[in-house]
């Protein structure tokens, strides 16, 4: 098979169907043979190895080898490479026959970013799936419409609270914090990712106490809440944890899906006996996306793959808070979660990490109403206490959807005013962003 035989025209690949298109960044020595290098990667990740072997027949290659569908230099030299150039940078695309791995995430990842994750300066930038691959995934069981239906909230942005402290408290203290947050108007309370089922705060005890508090508040006020309990554990124990929590009365789940494995979340989402929404927590994602020259893009880890695996809500970094995170990445992830994508329901983006009332206008401006504001410290660390903390966040949301500036709303609501007074000056960038929006 000649090198030219390894190349294919994108329209041809599209017409044949059944290929996953992977887009990569690659940095190489200025004098390396790029087409040869990219072809070698295509072979290495499908049928071949460093040497021809007898059973890698033309028929095997024809059906199963990856094809090179594009190699683009950035910026592009057409005549000669200046001698001052030590390295050259490329974006290239490979088309992998989906039949090689079938509709499952682990074998997909082993193929598109398995051994080549160790092959020098290469990053997986994007994946595009054929219909027959996507048809193998049920996707989110609830998604945006399902979560809204459960909460009875038609169109307003939702408010989530992470209980703080993150860990170290007994169930009774957690229940008190839970009830305070809910009385403040929170729609979803989630465990922190740092608590699961420790001896000092057993999962089932938390569920029972929190759900009892939820029931009481609902009877008093009619306000509904989802509690996403953290079922993170050894992969083969996650399902059992979920069932124990559901038996104890919980109405939603949470999983640190990247430390357990993305497909463990899919196992929960596609379990016909699990009829509650799932919140996917981002921790560990940086190990895979932080490097610009290895790993894979954040919008794959936190966007497409999470949606494929059935997350109903994805928590990920807000660019206005405590994580260093490009706004464009945060928007890309939101785009991959919310946009129309075959039969896969839209997923709530939930920016978190230092979310407080003054960033609410920016986030709603970015996503529209289909987003969840994820506030931890802004609620439990509010100067007037957690109930006021919840109220201040809800007041900020209501102000934005009613077209009222936060400044004006703060004049009306003491809880919002206390938050703006306390944190308005916390970060000049956030403040100026807020000022511009208003």
The residues annotated with a catalytic role in the active site are 164, 281
How far is C-alpha 429 from the geometric centre of its chain's CA atoms?
25
Q: Which of these, 307, 350, 309, 299, lies nearest to 106 by C-alpha position? A: 309
Of 11, 15, 54, 78, the one binding its own copies (CB under 8 A) is: 54
CB of 436 to its own copies, least distance (A): 23
Looking at residues 3 to 42 of the shown chain, list those that interact with its own copies (rule: CB under 8 A).
Answer: none
Nearer to its own copies, 197 or 366 (CB): 197
Smallest distance, Å, CB 325 to its own copies? Answer: 7
- Window 98 to 127, contacts with its own copies (CB under 8 A): 99-102, 104-107, 109-111, 113-120
Q: Name the one range near its own copies by CB under 8 A: 46-54, 71-79, 337-345, 397-405.
A: 46-54
How far, in Å, CA of 367 to CA of 364, rounded?
A: 5
Classify 21 as helix, strand or coil: strand
Q: How far is the CB of 37 from its own copies (least distance, A)?
A: 12
CA neighbor of 283 nearest in space, from 181, 162, 198, 202: 162
Nearer to its own copies, 184 or 317 (CB): 317
With binding defined as CB under 8 A, does residue 273 bind its own copies? no
Site for its own copies in 139-198 (CB under 8 A): 164-169, 173, 176-177, 193-198
Judged by CB under 8 A, which of 90, 139, 150, 233 binds its own copies? 233
Instruction: Output 63 or 343, the one with its CB closest to its own copies.
Output: 63
Q: Does 385 engage in binding with its own copies (CB under 8 A)? A: yes
Chain center to CA of 266: 14
CA distance linking residue 252 with residue 246, whole number of Å: 8
For the bound state, the minimum distance from the C-beta of residue 190 to its own copies, rounded and expressed in Å, comes to 13
Mind giving me the DSSP string for 96-125? EEGGGT-S-HHHHHHHHHTGGGGSSSEEEE
Q: Helices 262-269 and 238-247 sit at what angle, rounded to 10 degrees?
A: 40
Closest by CA to 229, choosing from 216, 186, 248, is 248
The correct pick among 7, 34, 60, 134 for binding its own copies (CB under 8 A) is 60
What stretches of 194-239 adopt beta strand conformation (E)?
226-230
Q: Which of residues 202-231 bind its own copies (CB under 8 A)?
A: none
Site for its own copies in 391-430 (CB under 8 A): none
Q: According to DSSP H, which parts of 114-202 are helical? A: 131-134, 143-151, 171-183
Establish if 61 lies at the interface with its own copies (CB under 8 A).
yes
Q: Looking at 62-70, 74-82, 152-160, 340-348, which segment touches its own copies (CB under 8 A)? A: 62-70
Do you find a cis peptide bond into 412, omega within 30 degrees of 0?
no
> In whole angstroms, how close is the CB of 101 to its own copies at the nearest point?
7
In the complex, what is the shortest distance from the CB of residue 78 to its own copies, in angstroms, rounded to a whole number? Answer: 30
Site string for its own copies, 242-271 (x = CB under 8 A): --------------x--xxxxxx-xx---x
The whole-angstrom separation of Cα 157 and Cα 371 is: 5
Which of residues 2, 11, 49, 155 is near its own copies by CB under 8 A? 49
C-alpha 38/C-alpha 26 separation (Å) is 9
Is there a contact between 295 and 263 (Cβ–Cβ < 8 Å)?
A: no
Q: How far is the CB of 248 from its own copies (least distance, A)?
A: 19
Please report, as residue ranges, which positions from 278 to 307 form the binding site for its own copies (by CB under 8 A).
281-288, 290-291, 293-296
The residue from 76, 222, 324, 403 that contacts its own copies (CB under 8 A) is 324
Q: Does 327 bind its own copies (CB under 8 A)?
A: no
Query: Does residue 378 belong to the site contacting its own copies (CB under 8 A)?
Result: yes
Q: What is the DSSP string of 246-258?
A: HHTT--EEEE-HH
Closest approach of its own copies to the CB of residue 317, in Å? 6
Of these, 4, 50, 82, 436, which contacts its own copies (CB under 8 A)?
Answer: 50
Q: How would you class 157 by CB atoms within 10 Å of its CB: exposed for 0-12, middle for 13-18, buried for 19 or more?
A: buried
Residues contacting residue 218 through CB under 8 Å, at least 6 positions apart: 224, 225
């Amino acid at each position: 098979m000649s090198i030219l035989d390894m190349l294919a025209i994108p329209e041809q690949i599209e017409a044949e169907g059944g290929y996953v298109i992977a887009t990569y960044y690659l940095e190489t020595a200025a004098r390396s043979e790029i087409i040869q290098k990219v072809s070698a990667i295509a072979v290495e990740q499908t049928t071949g190895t460093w040497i021809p072997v007898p059973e890698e027949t033309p028929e095997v290659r024809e059906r199963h080898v990856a094809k090179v569908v594009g190699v683009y230099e950035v910026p592009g030299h057409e005549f000669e490479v200046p001698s001052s150039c030590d390295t050259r940078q490329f974006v290239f695309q490979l088309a992998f026959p989906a039949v090689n791995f079938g509709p499952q995430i682990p074998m997909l990842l082993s193929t598109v970013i398995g051994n080549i994750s160790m092959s020098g300066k290469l990053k997986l930038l994007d994946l595009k799936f054929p219909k027959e691959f996507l048809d193998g995934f049920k996707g989110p069981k609830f998604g945006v419409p399902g979560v809204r239906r459960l909460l009875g909230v038609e169109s307003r942005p939702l408010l989530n609270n992470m209980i703080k402290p993150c860990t170290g408290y007994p169930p009774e203290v957690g229940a008190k914090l839970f009830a305070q947050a809910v009385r403040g108007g929170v729609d979803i309370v989630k465990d922190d990712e740092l608590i699961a089922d420790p001896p000092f705060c057993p999962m089932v005890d938390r569920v029972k106490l929190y759900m009892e508090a939820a029931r009481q508040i609902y009877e008093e006020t009619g306000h509904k809440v989802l509690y996403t309990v953290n079922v993170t554990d050894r992969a083969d124990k996650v399902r059992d944890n979920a069932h124990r929590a559901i038996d104890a009365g919980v109405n939603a789940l949470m999983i640190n899906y990247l430390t357990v494995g993305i497909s463990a979340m899919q196992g929960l989402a596609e379990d016909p006996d699990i009829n509650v929404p799932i919140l996917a927590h981002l921790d560990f994602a940086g190990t895979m996306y932080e490097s610009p020259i290895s790993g894979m893009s954040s919008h794959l880890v936190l966007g497409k793959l999470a949606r494929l695996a059935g997350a109903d809500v994805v928590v990920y970094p807000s660019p206005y808070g405590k994580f260093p995170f490009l706004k464009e990445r945060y928007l890309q992830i939101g785009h991959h979660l919310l946009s129309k994508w075959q039969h896969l329901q839209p997923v709530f983006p939930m920016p978190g990490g230092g979310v407080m009332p003054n960033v609410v206008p920016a986030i709603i401006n970015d996503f529209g109403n289909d987003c969840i504001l994820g506030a931890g410290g802004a609620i439990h660390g509010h100067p007037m206490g957690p109930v006021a903390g919840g109220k201040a966040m809800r007041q900020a949301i209501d102000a934005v959807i009613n077209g009222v500036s936060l400044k004006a709303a703060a004049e009306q609501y003491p809880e919002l005013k206390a938050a703006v007074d306390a944190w308005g000056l916390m970060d000049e960038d956030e403040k100026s962003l807020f000022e511009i929006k208003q």
